[in-house]
Structure 1
């Protein structure tokens, strides 16, 4: 995501490398490159022009401190302006109402139905909401079946009315049903079309008038670039929606829609979605996205994802085992499972400052732990609990059982031993010791 834009911006900042200060001349060349990079990334031309004008004004008015180089100052200014351009701060979803009704709109193929399932999962798991999914796409039978499958995956009931072709009636009846069942959140998936047309617009507007949703979200495919922004504008003129959802950000997208959309429609980008997994949905944080665009990583999101997977009681139990040097292969397997739940591995590593650039051209498979898991699963329960008993004959049996070589088994055992030593030294470190060692 945004790799090409990140590279181009980094190159533009290098123009200021070696300069003693920011001047009208050197900043003009840098900004020209930034503007080109944004336009090539499919950012709206007017948005790119206004953005670079703002950056120029801030840069020429900035007092560059002795300790800060002009290139670093320009990076900071561009980062702050990018965050502002994309909305400044995260915008929360409105869940007022009994029940809260969330209306989902967008073109066919934009990912509305998948997003509805992901949103249901997020609200249920992270907000402790009871959710009812409503199959309001009466024209595409596959959409109803897809929503049923997604509902089963996330453990949420799906409301359907076989044979009823009136989406307004279906939505109204679903809300009555939710009230009767004390369900506090209703997500209405609606029909899409291959292009914006009057009939579709009137139908979705009629549903909105009837159900008076707490929140109306417009879902758009990020891979359509400027078309996404233009479609967002047309929908907003008719629906006056509350926020935008960008899907398919893991595809071959240049990122321009994420940067332009706020400025063009003056509505916040609320969620970004990538991948087919039901947990692959994130609240959109403009400042974090600005960091990622500039290759600075996103350590806050990384930590948040980790915290979602780790239980405090489990963490305390694990620390005790580490201190006593009892961390074993069962614990190691548990840690691998927790990491895998956090999401796509390359995406996760890209959140760590400095790592994203280093792994940009490296293919990192989500199966990277497959061999390690195979070796551990080929161990007996006693071997997993007591790695010290794994002698040469046991190693040979483990290698055969896992379809690996003796060298690969030895390598894992060595890495495990080193990891265990490092974990113990960190876990037993007294407060202040780390600080003292740096002196």
Structure 2
């Protein structure tokens, strides 16, 4: 009589996809996709709403600048509030505010009651909401994943965000041409409302030290000390203050104008912006698999690619070449963005994410209102091609100049640790790298 065979050991369970991504990461990513679809379409719709009402290139620049002025004014307050209050509460309030402002703008456009001053005022309202949303959003996504999963998480987050950019830009151009900019703006308002509803579901631990926190001015001062103590941080932000102004002028003013003059209108520019999003998406797949050691050095190589759309427009290239330039430029955006977020998460204390992020955003867009407001006058003075050449050459020069900062070339990725991650630094003491 033989013994019964021992039962086979159960096969190990297959690892769940995105097992490292917690609930907050999933919800925040989903909400970003929802609002991103409308956000990618809205600038196209707004630009052509201005042009359809008889506006000029300068008018498109004024409306775009009106959105960025409140960003400059309120970003620091938004960053301080996001570090003092539950971040998801700040994001929900900002989303609902943006939903209302975009709905009002859409109704004015649909009824033919809009005017330049109304477009400027409601564009400014949208910028004010973004000023409170952006620092809270970045702090939330950084705190929702462990440091050892940062590259993968930020790549997945950017792939989701960029995927919505692809769909939103393509739909925005097509829908603006087919049914008009008013309906596109109304869809954007609905996206903001749905994103706010999703973010209500975020779970954030209640803070127990709120009663002992110092005043907001003191906290902003500590955030500034964190920001100013890192030369690599403020050097890149100074670089981006000019680069972002150039990119904004190209994408929101010169691009739609050239598309209307040479390529047939909104549909062509929507295709170009969709290619930009596809480039970001494809690059996100690659950055999720690679972990470069010199994170800022690799990231800055992506900044050189930012100049390609302006070069293609300045050279009067055909639409296929412009689409290719937008694709490669989008890839550069993700290469820089992922490595930049890894550097911030690695070097900045978690308790100060939102304040440092606010200084980052503020410095990066400080010149954008001026750049977009002067985009029209610059095109009148230099010619449209001359203004585009200025943007392209300026971007390339600054991408090269920032490499002179030793910390940008040398900042390396921290080695992964096997023990638990350290807790956040005390709020009342700045921590330097």
Does the TM-score normalized on the shorter chain lie above 0.5?
Answer: no
TM-score bracket for the superposition, by shorter chain length: under 0.3
- Determine which structure has greater relative contact order: mean sequence separation of CA pairs < 8 Å that are 6+ residues apart, divided by chain length: 2
Task: Looking at secondary structure, tell me which structure has more helix per residue.
Answer: 2
Considering only CA atoms, is the larger Rg found in Structure 1 or Structure 2?
Answer: 1
Task: Looking at secondary structure, tell me which structure has more strand per residue.
Answer: 1
